[in-house]
Every structure is written in structure tokens, then in C-alpha cells.
């Protein structure tokens, strides 16, 4: 079992974190501390020899993971490595994980017998749960249940072992807090089964049940219903054990759980968003008349069925197309939530003006109108087309982040493979009568895939490329994630990952900062035989620079599902450079998310986000106007 060492300037802090981690990791876990200095009057500091002693105390052939707080603690731990024998030095890892959260997550992983590298990876992702809870707009909360494809517990699998499932209510007063989540993880990991958990109430998940960080990221609260799914030789035993754990209150004392969970959920401010204020929160009780949701697009019967299914018990839904022309302004001003399809064409200029005017307290009082909409929710994923200058102050704007992540991830995989295996050039060669059976193609196994934008789509791409045997390097805004990745960083690390990647996938939003992100210099950083796939927005890449790079580097290839100019109203499709004359370029007509039932599929995810809002939960996909307005 991997041992843990905690290095801190304060002995009391190190001992306190060790006590907390020991509760999570089990009795066999060995934790050493190197905290403070043995100097009267000056007890704060770190010492390399203390770190060495702590490593010796917990030494295991499985390795030792060292976590530090800050400053000289890092230097002391680094020096301690130099003082170890060469044999031991190779089995000790220093991690940049946060001390408290990282120690708790690492303790659970080590207690499960995970290898050193896995324990380190789990520790580095330990902040993901806190980010998802407090900053959902940066976390990209889009792993929502796929209810538009039917009940996930009843879906057959196309391949692999059968999946068994159980739905459970969480009645604990504190929900699946860290200690109960750790007990859940240990219970699931005790069996030869692959177990995942999804919070059906919030739509978060599925999360890998062997990862404390992933389970904690779900933020399961009192009253939530979770779906636990398992496959493998001991799937039944694993589910039975988890059912027993639920019946016993998830390990909490009897007074920590209640037979009936309250429906009211405390609202939280949406920090960093347009109108980020707790005054914008809307709270509803399921089963009672709730806030008003105004649907601005022409919703057919299947779309209305989705909306009513998700919101019927928490909100009053009205459809703008059912409202008389003379009453549209009042309906817009009185709605708590506006649900948009195409926001650009949904309202007239006068209606935008009326909506803005209604946001002013004096105007609302004079006209006896209710408060304006507190949330604008888009069915579309991107928000780069939103007229932020027309959005009234205090109104939140949310895109449908990851609304079509899974089909888009499949499209990414198809494009990667088509380019790596030269399918189109070889097809054309065969059509012309050629037979180039000795021209080698690319093997992706063992390579590295860089995913720039690790939100819903990026996180859906990751397991697919892992299945090919590729490593995953990911970039997002926070530099933290609960999804397994071999490297996680921010855009500050862009050049680093571009140099190492065999495949680069762009899945980040188009903002003022990302426009032109990939230019001649960045393309020059990439490997000569790299593959670039863009399913995000075309202007993230400099069009002219890409064309020149493709012409000058025959081994480099690119696949685009998005375009610098996309036609509308039947106009012809054109590009500014003759990309389609190049053998190392592949295109598709922005249809990566278009599958059977695609609209209802994405709509349900958008409406689930509305449900979270009206229940007072953090909202996913929040946009900041300053990121888009230049």
C-alpha cells in the first residue's frame, strides 16, 4: 500500500490533516508528518531531515506520495529526495496537489490499493469537487443524465458485460459529504465490478465510484436520488452492499439522516457571471407552483413533452408563441427564466428594449410589472452569438455546455481515425484504379492527445482516445479536473502540450481570448505529423495560417466541423482558401452533434440546467459578458 507524507510549516496543521486523512483511508494506511520546527519561539517552518524520517516511517515498496503546503515546504521535500538512496528516490513522488483535499483523496485511493501514479493523479484532481460546487461556471458542469435517450437504468448495452443498476435516495442531512463519500468509494471498490454513480436530481454524472474526487464532484445533497450502475463478475454483490450502506444512512449517525428530505434548497450566488448576485437566485419547492419559465422558440410537441417532464413539478411554463402579440412584452418582463433556441431571432428590438426597461426598479414599479428574467438559458452550447449589450443587468446567461458532447466526441474520433488511416486519399486512389497497399498509415496507440477545452465535449473525447491507448493532456480554465488525465493545465500551458501532442482537439468556447488562439506560431509548435481536429469554432484558428501550414507540411493534417463563414438561408458554402484541394484536410458541415433525436437530447440538458436554477442549485455553463464583449 502506498504511504503518505504530509509536509507543512505547522506541526498542528500537518497532524490535523493526517487525522482527517486517516479516517478516510482505513486502519492499514500509513501516514507520516513533517511539520514545523523544533525551535522554541519559532515553531513554523520545514526541515528536509524531518521529511526523510517521515518517508522512512511510512516506507512501502509500493511507493510514497509527498504532499506539501507552500513555499519552503516544497524546497524541503525536494531536498529530502536528494538525501534518499537512489533506489528509494525512484519510488517517491512529490505532488502539487492541495494539502488538505489532496491528502484526503490520496488516502482513499491508497487505502484501496491503487498504484502510486494513480494515487498522485487522484490527489492532483482533489479540488474538482470544490470547484464544481462553488464555481460551476469554470468547472463546466455538463455531465448530465441522458434521459432524452430513455431511462438510463433500462438501456441495453451494445457491447460488453450487462449493466445492473439501482436507484437510491440520499436522506443524510449533509448528503454524500466527504466521509460518507469515502465510505461509498471503499464499498464499491471492494468488489470485482465497474461501478458508476449519477445524481439524477442534479443531472451530474456518471462518476467513477473508485474515485473520491469524482464522487465528491457530484455534490449529492439531502433529498437527491442517485443511480448506481455496475457491471462485471461481482456487479450484483457490489450493488447489494451499496444498498445496505444506503439503508444504514451512508455511515452517518441516526441523527444525521432524516426519513424525509426537504425539497427546499438554499440558493447560491453565481460568481463571475453576468449579474452574479444572490438576488438572481430563484428557489422552488417540487410539487408547488414555482417560478415562471418562458420558452421563446416554437416548441413542437416532442419538445414541449421534454420541457414539461423536467420542469412540470417546479415551474410554471409558458410558450411565447402561444401569447397574443399585445401581451408578449408583459410575458417577457414577468418571466423568471427565458429559454432560447436561436437568441438572435427570437425577440424584436422593441421587445429587447422592453425587457431592459423592466429591469429598472422604478420602471417596473411604475408599470406594475414583475421583476425581469433572472436567467437566460440557451439550448445552443456556444454563447459567442449572444447580444450581451441587450441583456439587462442582473440577468444570468447560460449556454448548454456539453449539450451534445457524446455524439460530438464520436465525430472527433471518426475524424482522427480518417486522417491517421488516410481513408479519403486511399479511397480516391482506389476509385482512380490505383492500389497503394504499401503506403503506411499512422498508429495512434501510444501517442498523446491534447484536448484544449476540457469541458463537456473534451471530457467525452478523453475516454474514447484512452480506449485507443493514447495519453490525455487537457487544458481548461481552472487547471483542475475530476476526470482522469495524464496532464491537466490551463491555456498558459498551451505551447507545452502542442509540442508533445500527436493529436490536438479543440473543444473550447470562442471568446475574446480564444479568437485566433491557434496561429502560425502555435501551428509551428506542433509536431510535423500532428493531427488538428476542431469541433469548437473556426475563428479559434487563423484561417490563412492554417492553409499555409497545411501546404508547407504534407505530414500535418487537419479536420474541421466548423467554419469561418457558415451559410444560412440556402446560400452556397464557400471558404476563403482552397482547403478541399488539399489531401491532408477533412471537413464536415457542422453536423458533429446531429444524430437521431438530437434536438430533444440537447434540449433536455438545457432544461435540466433551468431546473437546477429554480431549485437554487449552481448553474452550469454561465457566461461572463466581459469574455465576449471587446
* HEC per residue, 478-512: CCCCCCCCCEEECHHHHHHHHHHCCEEEECCCCCC
Backbone angles phi, psi at 27, to 5 degrees: -65, -25
- For the chain, the structural domain boundaries read 3-126, 134-256, 278-402+599-627, 405-587
Q: Cβ distance 444 to 501 under 8 Å?
A: no
Task: Give mean pLDDT, residues 247-269.
Answer: 45
**CATH top-level class for 3-126?**
alpha beta
Give the whole-angstrom CA distance, residue 254 versus residue 172.
9
The overall average pLDDT reported for the chain is 82
pLDDT for 592: 94
For range 305-334, the mean pLDDT: 90
Q: Which of 9, 411, 549, 613 is catalytic?
A: 9
Give percent of the chain above pLDDT 70: 86
Average pLDDT value for residue range 535-564: 97
The pLDDT, as a whole number, for residue 288 is: 53
CATH class, range 405-587? alpha beta
Banded model confidence at residue 417, pLDDT cuts 50, 70, 90: very high
**Domain 134-256 sits in which CATH superfamily?**
HPr-like (3.30.1340.10)
Strand-pairing partners, residue 558, are 532, 585
Task: Tell me, yes or no, if the two domains 134-256 and 278-402+599-627 fold the same way.
Answer: no
Q: Is 9 a catalytic residue?
A: yes
Host H or E run for residue 537: none
Element (H, E) at 185: helix 178-189
Between vectors from CA 60 to CA 58 and to CA 62, what angle results, nearest 5°?
135
Nine cell digits for residue 622: 454561465
Architecture of domain 278-402+599-627: 3-Layer(aba) Sandwich (3.40)
The answer to whether residue 629 scores a pLDDT higher than 90 is: no
Beta strands in 445-491 (DSSP E): 448-452, 471-475, 487-489
Instruction: Give the mean pLDDT of 339-366.
Output: 74
Question: pLDDT grade, residue 73 (50/70/90)?
Answer: confident
- Give the pairing type, strands 375-378 and 337-340: parallel
- Residue 573 buriedness (CB in 10 A; 0-12 / 13-18 / 19+): exposed
How confident is the model over 216-230, as pLDDT tens digits?
778 888 777 788 888
pLDDT digits (tens, 9 = 90+) for 445-493: 999 999 999 988 998 899 899 999 999 999 998 888 767 789 999 999 9
Nearest C-alpha neighbor of 196 from the set 466, 204, 205, 187: 205
pTM of the complete model: 0.60
What number is the average pLDDT over the span 425-437? 92
pLDDT confidence tier of residue 22, bands split at 50, 70 and 90: confident
- Helix residue ranges, H only, 504-561: 520-525, 543-552
Please tell me the distance from the alpha carbon of residue 451 to that of residue 476, in angstroms, as a whole number.
9
**Cβ distance 510 to 384 under 8 Å?**
yes
Amino acid at each position: 500500500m502506498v504511504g503518505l507524507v504530509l509536509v507543512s510549516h505547522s506541526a498542528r496543521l500537518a497532524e490535523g490533516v493526517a487525522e482527517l486523512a486517516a479516517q478516510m483511508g482505513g486502519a492499514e494506511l500509513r501516514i507520516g508528518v513533517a511539520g514545523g520546527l523544533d525551535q522554541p519561539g519559532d515553531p513554523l517552518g520545514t526541515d528536509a531531515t524531518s521529511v526523510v524520517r517521515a518517508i522512512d516511517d511510512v516506507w512501502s515498496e509500493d511507493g510514497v506520495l509527498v504532499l506539501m503546503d507552500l513555499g519552503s515546504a516544497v524546497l524541503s521535500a525536494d531536498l529530502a529526495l536528494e538525501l534518499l538512496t537512489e533506489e528509494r528516490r525512484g519510488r517517491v513522488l512529490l505532488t502539487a496537489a492541495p494539502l488538505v483535499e489532496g491528502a484526503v483523496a490520496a488516502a482513499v485511493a491508497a487505502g484501496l490499493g491503487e498504484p502510486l501514479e494513480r494515487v498522485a493523479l487522484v490527489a492532483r484532481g482533489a479540488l474538482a469537487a470544490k470547484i464544481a460546487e462553488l464555481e460551476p461556471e469554470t468547472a463546466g458542469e455538463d455531465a448530465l443524465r441522458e434521459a432524452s435517450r430513455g431511462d438510463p437504468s433500462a438501456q441495453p448495452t451494445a457491447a460488453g458485460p450487462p449493466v445492473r443498476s439501482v436507484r437510491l435516495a440520499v436522506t443524510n442531512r449533509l448528503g454524500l459529504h466527504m466521509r460518507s463519500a469515502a465510505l461509498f468509494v471503499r464499498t464499491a471498490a471492494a468488489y470485482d465490478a465497474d461501478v458508476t454513480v449519477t445524481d439524477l436530481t442534479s443531472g451530474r454524472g456518471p462518476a467513477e465510484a473508485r474515485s473520491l474526487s469524482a464522487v465528491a464532484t457530484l455534490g449529492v445533497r439531502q433529498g437527491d436520488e442517485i443511480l448506481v450502475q455496475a457491471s462485471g463478475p461481482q456487479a450484483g454483490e457490489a450493488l447489494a452492499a451499496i444498498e445496505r450502506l444506503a439503508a444504514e444512512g451512508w455511515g452517518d449517525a441516526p441523527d444525521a439522516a432524516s426519513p424525509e428530505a426537504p425539497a427546499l434548497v438554499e440558493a447560491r450566488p453565481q460568481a463571475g457571471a453576468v449579474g452574479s448576485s444572490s438576488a438572481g437566485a430563484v428557489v422552488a419547492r417540487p410539487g408547488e407552483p414555482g417560478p415562471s419559465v418562458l420558452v421563446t422558440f416554437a416548441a413542437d410537441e416532442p419538445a414541449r413533452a421534454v420541457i414539461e417532464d423536467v420542469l412540470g413539478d417546479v415551474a410554471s411554463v409558458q410558450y411565447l408563441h402561444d401569447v397574443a402579440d399585445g401581451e408578449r412584452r408583459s410575458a417577457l418582463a414577468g418571466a423568471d427564466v427565458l429559454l432560447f433556441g436561436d437568441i438572435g431571432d427570437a425577440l424584436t428590438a422593441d421587445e429587447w428594449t422592453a425587457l431592459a426597461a423592466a429591469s429598472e426598479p422604478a420602471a417596473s414599479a411604475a408599470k406594475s410589472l414583475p421583476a425581469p428574467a433572472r436567467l437566460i438559458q440557451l439550448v445552443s452550447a456556444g454563447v459567442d452569438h449572444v447580444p450581451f449589450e441587450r441583456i439587462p443587468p442582473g440577468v444570468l446567461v447560460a449556454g448548454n455546455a456539453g449539450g451534445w458532447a457524446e455524439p460530438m466526441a464520436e465525430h472527433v474520433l471518426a475524424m482522427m481515425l480518417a486522417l491517421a488511416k488516410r481513408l479519403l486519399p486511399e479511397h480516391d486512389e482506389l476509385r482512380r484504379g490505383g492500389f497503394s497497399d504499401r503506403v503506411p498509415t499512422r498508429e495512434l496507440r501510444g501517442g498523446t492527445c491534447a484536448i484544449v477545452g476540457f469541458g463537456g465535449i473534451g471530457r467525452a473525447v478523453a475516454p474514447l482516445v484512452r480506449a485507443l491507448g493514447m495519453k490525455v493532456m487537457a487544458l481548461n480554465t481552472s487547471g483542475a479536473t475530476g476526470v482522469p488525465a495524464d496532464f491537466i493545465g490551463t491555456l498558459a500551458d498551451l505551447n507545452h502540450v502542442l509540442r508533445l501532442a500527436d493529436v490536438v482537439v479543440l473543444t473550447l468556447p470562442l471568446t475574446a481570448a480564444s479568437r485566433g488562439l491557434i496561429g502560425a506560431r502555435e501551428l509551428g509548435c506542433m509536431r510535423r505529423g500532428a493531427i488538428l481536429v476542431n469541433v469548437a469554432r473556426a475563428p479559434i484558428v487563423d484561417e490563412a495560417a492554417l492553409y499555409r501550414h497545411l501546404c508547407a507540411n504534407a505530414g500535418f493534417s487537419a479536420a474541421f466541423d466548423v467554419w469561418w463563414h457558415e451559410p444560412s438561408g440556402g446560400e452556397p458554402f464557400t471558404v476563403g482558401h482552397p482547403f478541399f484541394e488539399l489531401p491532408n484536410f477533412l471537413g464536415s458541415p457542422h453536423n458533429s452533434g446531429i444524430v437521431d433525436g438530437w434536438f430533444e437530447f440537447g434540449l433536455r440538458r438545457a432544461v435540466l440546467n433551468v431546473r437546477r436554477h429554480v431549485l437554487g442549485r449552481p448553474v452550469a455553463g454561465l457566461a461572463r459578458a466581459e469574455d465576449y464583449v471587446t
